[in-house]
């Protein structure tokens, strides 16, 4: 009986667990930066830039991954660890290699054979246990699981090696030096040393050893015409701004002030301190740093966005609106800036400003339907106007994006019942109901 319970425990560890929730960080400047530094790499990979999306994840680990089609997720810890834009481009080139090779779709090529070995070992183990040979059954299961894991790890290591080479090709085609890629792999290698990760056996790893990857790639990069080409200074300046902003947003204020002390007035330092002071509840100090940024570049939409955000969130709505109008004028196709201005206009509760907000928010969702806050602001406008069906539809859109299937279903049903049959909004409500219904059905199955 004990052997059977042990077998059951092993089987339970093999079942997929719930995904760890991670926060997605949205920032207009950062997303524009990702698009600009990756465009030539995306084209070199034979992909369409508009179809590849870069998502910033609030996680301090040094990691990036691809999932859900052509979505590249980059951890905040990776950007903070990087020293220059070329290092980040090296990581992006590697992740694009996964997309170009269709590794998400081809996962079963590696998992399938490994699963068959596991299933066969499980059958053998159960047969042995049924015959009363419990220890033999556990031994069979253990050997089968080891063989399966070894086969799967060999598959993933091969994928990673091929992707490293693909990334090198993309960097070369884009005219970008591979030095950043090598430097970043050295960072990973140093981290492995610090964590005492063995460097003499890669057969128990999903990735080749960092030292192996460095030596393999150096032979390719050093021959490339772009090897000695320096990073684009304009992109490097933008990288430093992004990094400073991110550190100010995610790090403890004490750490921010150590990295960017008073008296250092680079854009990165001013960004970092402005965010740190704002998060700590010191609006005057935050505004002082934001004002210095705007003084450096009065028409920079992202500096204006920060200044307007601090004013708005400090309760100074009337002061925030002209600043955010200026930002929107300078960046008319940045949906998050349009949404922030719309939010300020809605917060004013002045009817004329509500009228100004609606087309801005509609333009924002036309550019980016994935921001639940934009739908919330539109819902407020519709509700104040007495347009209950469209207020419900906006709520359904918001709940759907937030993963609240029940809220999406209830509001979509309310909207559908009151909207003209066959109209675009009616059809959209119907679509949300269908998707929410599927999600609710999956939730029921998991509870059974």
Ordered by start, the domain boundaries in the chain are 1-250
What token pair was written down for 411?
A: 């509001």
Q: What pLDDT, on a 0 to 100 scale, did the predictor assign at position 414? A: 97
CB contact at 8 A, 99 and 72:
yes
Q: What are the pLDDT digits (tens) for 109-166?
A: 444 444 444 444 444 444 444 444 445 444 434 544 444 444 433 444 456 768 888 9
Q: What are the pLDDT digits (tens) for 325-372?
A: 999 999 999 999 999 999 999 999 788 998 999 999 999 999 999 999
Q: What pLDDT, on a 0 to 100 scale, did the predictor assign at position 104? A: 58
| Cα–Cα dist 340/261, whole Å | 29
* Strands 53-58 and 71-75, bridge-based pairing: parallel
User: For residue 445, how many other CB atoms are within 10 A of its CB?
Assistant: 8
DSSP strands (E only) in 5-120 = 23-25, 53-58, 64-67, 71-75
Q: What pLDDT, on a 0 to 100 scale, did the predictor assign at position 114? A: 42
| Cα–Cα dist 411/398, whole Å | 10
DSSP strands (E only) in 68-166 = 71-75
Quickly tell me which residue has 């949906």 as its tokens.
335
Per the prediction, the chain carries an average pLDDT of: 83
| Cα–Cα dist 54/66, whole Å | 9
| Cα–Cα dist 224/12, whole Å | 49
Q: How far is CA 84 from CA 3, 194, 241, 280, 322, in A?
A: 55, 22, 11, 28, 35
Between helix 267-279 and helix 283-296 the angle, nearest 10°, is 160
Q: What is the dihedral of CA 346, 352, 355, 357, to 10 degrees?
A: -40
13-40 average pLDDT score: 75
What token pair was written down for 162?
A: 């091929």
In the predicted model, is pLDDT for residue 69 greater than 90?
no
């Amino acid at each position: 009986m004990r052997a059977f319970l042990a077998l059951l425990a092993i089987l339970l560890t093999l079942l997929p667990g719930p995904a760890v929730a991670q926060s997605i960080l949205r920032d207009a400047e950062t997303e524009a930066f990702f698009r600009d530094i990756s465009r030539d790499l995306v084209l070199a990979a034979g992909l369409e830039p508009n179809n590849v999306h870069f998502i910033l994840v609030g996680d301090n680990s040094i990691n990036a991954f691809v999932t859900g089609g052509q979505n590249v997720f980059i951890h905040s810890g990776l950007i903070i660890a990087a020293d220059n834009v070329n290092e980040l481009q090296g990581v992006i080139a590697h992740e694009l290699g996964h997309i170009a090779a269709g590794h998400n779709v081809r996962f079963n090529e590696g998992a399938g054979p490994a699963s068959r070995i596991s299933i066969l070992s499980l059958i053998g183990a159960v047969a042995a246990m049924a015959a009363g040979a419990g220890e033999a059954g556990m031994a069979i299961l253990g050997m089968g699981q080891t063989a399966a894991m070894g086969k799967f790890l060999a598959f993933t290591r091969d994928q990673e090696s091929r992707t490293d080479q693909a990334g090198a090709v993309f960097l070369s085609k884009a005219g970008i030096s591979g030095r950043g890629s090598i430097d970043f792999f050295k960072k990973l290698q140093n981290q492995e040393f610090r964590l005492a990760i063995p460097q003499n056996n890669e057969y128990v790893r999903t990735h080749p050893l960092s030292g192996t990857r460095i030596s393999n790639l150096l032979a390719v990069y050093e021959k490339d015409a772009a090897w000695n080409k320096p990073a684009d200074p304009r992109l490097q300046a933008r990288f430093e701004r992004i990094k400073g902003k991110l550190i100010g947003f995610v790090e403890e204020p004490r750490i921010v002030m150590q990295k960017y002390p008073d008296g250092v007035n680079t854009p990165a330092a001013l960004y970092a301190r402005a965010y740190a002071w704002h998060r700590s509840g010191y609006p005057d100090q935050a505004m002082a740093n934001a004002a210095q940024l705007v003084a450096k570049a009065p028409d920079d939409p992202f500096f204006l966005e920060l200044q307007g955000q601090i004013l708005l969130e400090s309760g100074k709505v009337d002061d925030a609106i002209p600043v955010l109008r200026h930002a929107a004028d300078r960046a008319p196709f940045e949906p998050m800036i349009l949404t922030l201005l719309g939010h300020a206009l809605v917060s004013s509760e002045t009817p004329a400003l509500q009228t100004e907000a609606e087309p801005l928010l509609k333009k924002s969702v036309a550019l980016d339907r994935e921001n639940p806050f934009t739908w919330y602001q539109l819902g407020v406008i519709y509700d104040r106007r007495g347009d209950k069906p469209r207020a419900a539809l906006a709520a359904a859109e918001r709940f759907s994006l937030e993963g609240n299937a029940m809220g999406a279903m209830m509001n979509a049903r309310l909207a559908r019942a009151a909207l003209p049959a066959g109209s675009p909004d009616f059809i959209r409500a119907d679509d949300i109901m269908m998707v929410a219904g599927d999600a609710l059905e999956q939730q029921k199955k998991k509870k059974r």
